Structure 1
């Protein structure tokens, strides 16, 4: 609809369709299947999640299953989906829920949206997990400080898009720089994955720190 309504703008800006990317992505998911006939699925927290519409749309677009934790079970070390025809194997699982809630047996015991035994199935290699458990580490703020070097080491080139300037205070040089420029800094927990403006309880503007808070920070 947008291309019809704004056809002149689309033509001038040479907008590329995303269909090719999604076809390759779907083929890559299917290529990860460890069992012939095994299903490919998205694991979603469910309709109460704010991005559920995205999960539903992409599952339908790619032609793969959209599953919640209760739709799955682990039997004989293999991940299975409950269907009207009985249990069917799942070979590739694209995780779209927080890792901590994925398995109440080995992760958060209070999780009501995970699948008991999922971690063990992944550990055995019985299912390929996209967005592997623990990959959220890459979203932590401290990791931003290392992204330029990681890119140079792994890709032999700099970042195509610059990362947010970040200093990890676990390194003496970074800590000294932060303290010397405290009024220009945003101070927050290194392992937080939330955006700075979402984390008011733990994230502070350096310029807003009172004398006692500054002294406490310097003493850490």
Structure 2
């Protein structure tokens, strides 16, 4: 199958806000100065400066800068830069250009004709035709077509199209487009430390999700 650049089609979200939110004790959410999102203990989700999504301990999903998908320990699926699919240790299947892969009983992996990847029961990963990433039950990460990141139930982080950060129920922190911090609780930062005051807006470098964001979870 041809290589599909998974993500937003190349457009970058407007991240011209200093993002430096930490909700550490109540969900381990960090949205740092460079725009990275880290939800570490409750789901092991990392959306780093280059837009890569890594869900490491709870599913071993890596969506790297080149758009490759790797689900390594829980199914050994690799969808590499050229679009090839390799399911190696649990079945030694390689479908390189011309067909669908279905490994159903031994990991619930489906790479269908349209290029969509679905790992449903063992990790709830869906990479759909539009390039959206959804890791739903094991971490609630959604990286959608517009590049928005939502980590909803396990930390309530939303990095939306305009670059706003909202950490609502587990810390009540809002960093709006103009850099204002509207509300925070003492638990919003480590040891109750107040969130850093916004510095002048700057663009977070490289925040793209090519499922990897160029484009999360």
Bin for the TM-score computed over the shorter chain: under 0.3
* Greater strand fraction, Structure 1 or Structure 2: 2
User: Which of structures 1 and 2 has the bigger CA Rg?
Assistant: 1
Indicate the structure whose relative CO is greater, using CA pairs within 8 Å and at least 6 residues apart: 2
* Greater helix fraction, Structure 1 or Structure 2: 1
TM-score by length of 2: 0.27
